[in-house]
Chains A and B, each alone.
Chain A
Amino acid sequence: MPLEKPYLDVPGTTIFDADQSRRGYHLNQFCMSLMKAANRERFKANERAYLDEWPMTEEQKLAVLARDLNRCIGLGGNIYFLAKIGATDGKSFQQMAGSMTGMTEEEYRNMMLSGGRSANGNRYVGEDGDAQAHRQPQGAAGKAGQPQGAAGLNSAKAV
């Protein structure tokens, strides 16, 4: 009998459950290796070569190289592990989180300063809030018609 997953209808959200964890094991363990300064240096010196030391899928490696965090999450990554890549790049958690929305850094920061994203319209798939699939990507990136980051999630969710 399949396990009950009542969290699959939350828009713009991937719950890191045991299935995702299994899918992302090597991706997340690669991220974990960046906790050591020496490994951060080796990764920065040649990202592709460092990634090739890990039994990750090609798709996972490409998502890391592109810093497409939504895609990484779709492929089993967890944000607390992926944050090690951001730390290696010198990015703050706010920059990382913002990168998944399609907003510019300033837009995302302003959203947080004005109280954050509302839950209204963003509780269930099929409502009309700003986190819904049909409204991605958000912010200037969306208006400029340059799908990035956020667009990756929908295809990733279909995996």
Chain B
Amino acid sequence: MAQITASVFTSHVPAIGAALDLGKDKEPYWQPLFKGYEYSKQWMKENTPDVIFLVYNDHATAFSLEMIPTFAIGCADSFRPADEGYGARPVPVVQGHPELAAHIAQSVIQQDFDLTIVNKMDVDHGLTVPLSLMCGQPQAWPCPVIPFAVNVVQYPVPSGRRCYNLGKAIRNAIVSYDEPLNVHIWGTGGMSHQLQGPRAGLINAEWDNKFLDRLIADPDDLANVPHIEYVREAGSEGIELVMWLIARGAMSDSFGGPPPSVKHRFFHVPASNTAVGHLILENNQ
């Protein structure tokens, strides 16, 4: 049977991708940020999974206002990096895992989460920046990826509680897959940031670090935080953090297992307009 061995959490700021693509990652502005991911790249090499289930949000790239799915699972063979207006990022095409994705779609929908099945989709920085941070700049990504897009652009976005419960449903789906695959689940976006209005540039390092503490130690309680607290404390775009609860809900301790080990924790301000947070949690069974 397939199993989830680890979860990874990281911000997915577009400027990080641009810094890498334009060779600016050695500049003093970016050095502290990339230093925080050195451990992660090594960990990724030593713990390469068979599949990454990558929770992210589309930023008005694949989904315009014509259709706004709350939860969309990518079931295609492959996904091209999108042209977000600057030209596509020069990163590898993302290979999917259609068999596992189809299995998860069927199982999760039967657990009462209405997923939208997507068979053709370009993926934006929300998905490719986390891959770049964790894998560097390879010719091909180290394993297949199942993109899972969550609407956090048009309000109302799904609640933290719903995301946490969805993570549990995704775990049920993955561990019922016959093939013995090693799966990572990643939650991306955040941390505190606001990109609009006179309040643009809001950062709340204290709130962010409490969020990290609670995500590690008491995610079930963290899932109770209402949207308005994210907006007030972490900025209007800080709401992306609800996606981290999907990945966290898929860990063993949500099912009575032992708590995960914290392999790595990193926090840095700023990357462009945003506070960057990062965690690697390993399951202990």
Contacts and interface: CB of A to CB of B under 8 A. Distances in A.
Interface of A: 6-7, 10-18, 21, 25, 28-29, 31-32, 34-37, 40, 69-70, 73, 78-81, 83-84, 86-88, 92-94, 96-98, 100-102, 108, 111-113, 115-119, 122-124, 131-133, 136-138, 150, 153
Contacts of B156: 17
- Chain B, interface residues (CB within 8 Å), range: 35 or more
Interface in B217-273: 227-228, 231-233, 236-237, 269-270, 272-273
B283 interface: no
Contacts of A98: 200-201
Interface in B138-159: 153-156
Given A97-B273, A98-B201, A116-B201, A13 B64 contact: no
> What 7 pairs across the A-B complex have the smallest Cβ distances?
A116-B203, A87-B85, A12-B199, A12-B198, A131-B199, A80-B60, A97-B200
A122 B202 contact: yes
Contact of B197 (A29, A86, A131): A131
A25 B64 CA distance: 10
A78 B85 contact: no
Given A12-B197, A119-B233, A29 B64 contact: yes
B225 to A, nearest CB: 13
Contacts of A40: 85
A32 B196 contact: no
Contact of A112 (B59, B205, B207, B270): B270
Contact of A15 (B15, B60, B236, B275): B236
Nearest to B87: A37
Contact of B201 (A6, A73, A86, A97): A97
A14 B235 CA distance: 11
A73 B197 contact: yes
B65 A21 contact: yes
A101 to B, nearest CB: 6
Interface of B: 14-15, 18, 59-61, 64-66, 82-87, 153-156, 192, 194-205, 207, 227-228, 231-233, 236-237, 269-270, 272-273, 275
Contacts of B195: 79, 93, 96-97
A13 B59 CA distance: 18
A98 B87 CA distance: 23
In this complex, which of B153, B192, B201, B228 has the most chain A Cβ atoms within 10 angstroms of its Cβ?
Answer: B201
Contacts of A36: 83
B272 A94 contact: yes
14 contacts: A7-B227, A10-B231, A13-B196, A13-B199, A14-B236, A17-B156, A35-B61, A35-B85, A86-B85, A87-B84, A88-B85, A92-B15, A100-B196, A101-B200
Contact of B203 (A97, A115, A133): A115
Contacts of B83: 35-37
A78 B201 contact: no
Contacts of A32: 60, 64-65
B201 A70 contact: no
B232 to A, nearest CB: 5
Contact of B153 (A10, A13, A34, A78): A78
